[in-house]
Amino acid sequence: MANSKKSGNTIAKYLPVYFVLLAIAIVEVFLAYQHFSTGALLAILLALAICGGTLALRYFMHLAQETRGLSLMLIPAVVFVLLMMNMIWSDSFRLLHMRPFGH
């Protein structure tokens, strides 16, 4: 009996998050068909995507229950990975023109 009570609380906690993510997706699709300027649409959709990604990370990957130290430790790791990806992109553009050594 104790397991079923715990399961019910879990569903009650994650179901609103699911509906919020569903609402964000519906708003994104609706906004995509509106006549906004490209920059404004990009900013709005990017903000909504960040909100949806944050909700998914916090609740579906259980980061909401973790300590603050883990979250603060993940931020520099993500920044490092993005910087390293930025270093590799220049090589991919050089290889696009079939000049592997940049002569």
The predicted pLDDT at position 29 comes to: 95
Q: pLDDT digit string (tens) for 20-38?
A: 999 999 999 999 999 999 9
pLDDT number for residue 42 = 94
Q: Are 56 and 13 in a shared domain?
A: yes
Which residues, given as ranges, of the chain have pLDDT below 70? 1-8, 90-103
| Number of Cβ atoms within 10 Å of the Cβ of 28 | 14
Co-location of 53 and 4 in the same domain: yes
pLDDT for res 80: 93
Same domain, 7 and 22: yes
Same domain (yes/no): 61, 73: no
Q: Which domain holds residue 42?
A: 1-65
Q: What is the per-residue pLDDT for 28?
A: 95
3-state secondary structure labels for all residues of 76-100? HHHHHHHHHHHHHHHHHHHHHCCCC
